[in-house]
Structure 1
Amino acid sequence: MDTFHGDEHLEVLTASPREAGEVMQTIHAWDSDGHNSHWWAVRLMEADLFRDLDVFDAEHMLRAVMRSGDSQIARLQQKILEAVKTELDG
Structure 2
Amino acid sequence: MDTFHGDEHLEVLTASPQEVGEVMQTIHAWDSDGHNSHWWAARLMESDLFRDLDVFDAEHMLRAVMRSGDSQMARLQLKILDAVQIELEG
Q: What is the TM-score normalised by the length of structure 2? A: 0.98
Q: What's the secondary structure of 1:10's corresponding residue? A: strand
Q: Which residue of 1 aligns with 2:38?
A: 38
Q: What's the secondary structure of 1:42's corresponding residue? A: helix
Q: 1:2 is matched by which residue type in structure 2?
A: D
CA shift for structure 1 position 14: 0.2
Alignment of 1:1-90 (within 5 A): 1-90=1-90
Q: What's the secondary structure of 2:3's corresponding residue? A: strand
CA distance in 1, matches of 2:27, 2:51: 23
CA shift for structure 1 position 48: 2.3
* 1:43-78 deviation digits (Å, cap 9, x = unpaired): 100002111100000000000000000000000000
Q: What's the secondary structure of 1:65's corresponding residue? A: helix
4+ long deviations beyond 4 Å: none
CA distance in 2, matches of 1:56, 1:39: 26
Aligned length: 90
CA shift for structure 1 position 41: 0.4
Stretches of structure 2 lacking an aligned partner (at least 5 in a row): none
Q: What's the secondary structure of 1:15's corresponding residue? A: coil
